[in-house]
Structures are given as structure tokens and as C-alpha cells.
Amino acid sequence: MEKSKLLKARVYVGTYKEYNNGSLFGQWMNLADYQSKEEFLDACKELHSDEDEPEFMYQDYSNIPDGMISESYINPLLFGIIQCAKDMDDTETEAFFTFLDMYFVDYSYIKDGEELVEKFRDKYAGQFDSEEAFATYMAEMKWPEELQTEFGQYFDYEAYSRTLLTSGYRHQGDFYFCVA
């Protein structure tokens, strides 16, 4: 997902009471307008101030990563993620969303969006146009330059990429991550 799309993340907020009464009354709300879930929920309460204790229903959404929203839940990390994304370039944002979509992060141990971005940066190995290019990069990171020059031409980077991808690394598209 591109940064410009993330910053346009929005949700249509209605209530279960309105829906059960046959009304779809609600409003599209831009998540980038809110620093936290609490601030967002306060705005939702103001929108539905005609109800004593409104049960919010997120009837539609756009530009939100999979698994971060459902009909009755918005992950509080999403607000911190949006704020952090303001400092990312487009490629890093796309890699970040790929990371989120891969489902190997247990969100229950993450306290805020900044910690999640930090975990992403720790796990992100880079963007490569092939598995062999990834293996070459990893070998260059581990071997001294003299070994690369002397023995690199004899090394089977294709086999090394298979080893890497079965022992702690995964990729989706061009983005590679350490999952160990």
C-alpha cells in the first residue's frame, strides 16, 4: 500500500442501533485526523450523540491493512501506524504493509504503533528483484570482501536462497523479512 493511501485511511461509522432500526446513518471518518483510538472514539460518540451508549459499527472502510479492522473493532495500533507512516517514504510504506499482511507479528505484544514500526524495521531485510539477488546480498553482508572476490564465482546463490527461505526468512513479492 502506498503512503498516500495509508494517509487516506477511512471508515464509515454507524451504530448497531441505527442499523437494527433500518438506518445506515453514519459518516466517513478519516483516521489520519486522530492521534489515538480514544480520540477517534470521542469523535464517534459526538457523531452519534443521540444515543446514550452507542455501539459503533464500522460498516465500510478503505486503505486499512487486512486484519486491523472488523465490523466492531479497530486495532488501536492503526492510529500510531498512520502517524509513523508520515515519516516513511512510499517504498518503506509498501514494505510495511506487506509486513503487516504476512501475519507473522503477534499484535497482542505490541504496545503502540511506534513499537510495531520498530519491529518492522528490525525484521525488514530489503527489497530484491529475485531470490538469488537476496542471497547475494545476504552473503555479502556475512563474508569479508576478499572471500567474495576469491570464491564468490563458485558459490551457488540459488541453493543459498533456498536455505535462507527455509530457515528464518520469508518474502512476499520483492520484500524480504527475517521471521526468526
Class of residue 72 by CB neighbours under 10 A (exposed 0-12, middle 13-18, buried 19+): exposed
pLDDT at 59: 96
Crossing angle for the helix pair 157-165 and 131-142, nearest 10 degrees?
90
The pLDDT of residue 65 is 76
Name residues of the chain where pLDDT drops below 50: none
**The whole model's pTM is what?**
0.70
DSSP state of 176: E
What does 80-132 look like in DSSP terms, one character per residue?
HHHHHHTTS-HHHHHHHHHHHHTT-S-GGG--SHHHHHHHHHHHEEEE-SSHH
pLDDT at 83: 83
For residues 59 and 13, what is the distance between their CA atoms, to the nearest angstrom?
6
Dump pLDDT digits (tens) for 81-93.
888 887 888 888 8
pLDDT in tens, 136-176: 899 888 877 766 666 666 778 899 899 999 999 999 999 99
Q: What is the pLDDT of residue 40?
A: 97
Collect all residues with Cβ–Cβ distance below 8 Å to 12 and sequence separation of at least 6.
Answer: 26, 27, 28, 29, 58, 59, 60, 61
pLDDT of residue 103: 67
